[in-house]
Amino acid sequence: MKIAAFLIALVATFGAAVAVGGAIGPEPTEPEPPAHAEPGPHADPAHASPAATAPRGLAAAAGGLRIDVLTPELEPGRERALRFRILDDHGQPIRSFDVAHERRMHAIVVRRDLTGFQHVHPRIDGDGTWSVPLRLGDPGSYRLYADFTRDGTPHTLAGDLRVDGGADLRPLPAPQPRATSDGGDAVELDAGGLHAGEASTLQFTVTRDDRPVALAPYLGAGGHLVALREGDLAFLHVHPLGDADGSEVAFETTFPSAGRYRLFLQYRVEEQVRTAAFTLEVAP
């Protein structure tokens, strides 16, 4: 009888607790965020999509695409066809590309010590293979960047090229505000104070014998600029700020980290494309 009375009391106590709990309600919990939540209207754009500002050209595959270099070995000083394909995530060659800066494909080739820069425009054949004649003068390891746009999205995929022979690697030149182009022009760079993570405007002025050089449009703008980071050779996307203004052309970019970068400016004078190279030091 004592045990029965104890059980009856216990059941009564438990029932009262359930009643009170039902009146108060369960403890509130944070709702699970959606798996693909969009940033809100006041989200910080710098953190909403970090990939949007990240440098490109660090990998052979990204964004569901992959570069397949068909001619990774070239002979020093001899012109050979550089051939490559862009494959989808099923390994099939892609044939559809957007026109960007007047071309469907921009191929950039540079040696690992950031010498031997070339910017060429391959042609595509029926099976999706891009090809262009290329001559690499010095032995060593080279980086190939396939820079293109597809369905409105820009991509830069990178592969390696090899030129047999003893490589005489050169140190990166010290930063200087003035360079001489391969056409003999004097090119001045005004970059201001450069800090990692901040938008920067790069202003170039071209003269010859202290007289302004009239710049003609090149690739749909006042010029073309490639920026590569020392060490990993990250490829930065640089925006031309409209057409050239007489002998001046400007670009805008954001350097993602402190350190040294090599810039390759290309501009057109009449029918000739000329190149000038600069080293930049970016502060933290």
How many domains does the chain divide into?
2
Digit-coded pLDDT (tens) for 109-128:
999 999 999 999 999 999 99
State whether 133 and 58 are in the same domain. Answer: yes
Domain-located, residue 267: yes
H helix or E strand, kind and range, residue 4: helix 2-24
Nearest to 206 by CA among 103, 135, 275, 281: 275
What confidence category does residue 3 fall into, taking pLDDT thresholds of 50, 70 and 90? very low
Beta bridge partners of 280: 261
Here the CATH number for the domain that contains residue 257 is 2.60.40.1930
CA distance 142 to 158: 10
Digit-coded pLDDT (tens) for 42-90:
223 333 333 335 789 999 999 999 999 999 999 999 999 999 999 999 9
* Residue 6 confidence (pLDDT): 39
Domain-located, residue 270: yes
State whether 204 and 241 are in the same domain. Answer: yes
CA distance 253 to 229: 13
Domain-located, residue 37: no
Q: What is the dihedral of CA 58, 116, 123, 161, to 10 degrees?
A: -50
Largest CA distance in the chain: 117
**What range defines the domain where residue 114 resides?**
52-163
Section 231-256 average pLDDT: 93
**Over 50: is that where the pLDDT of 1 sits?**
no
State whether 60 and 158 are in the same domain. Answer: yes
The overall pTM is greater than 0.95 = no
What confidence category does residue 20 fall into, taking pLDDT thresholds of 50, 70 and 90? very low
State whether 261 and 198 are in the same domain. Answer: yes
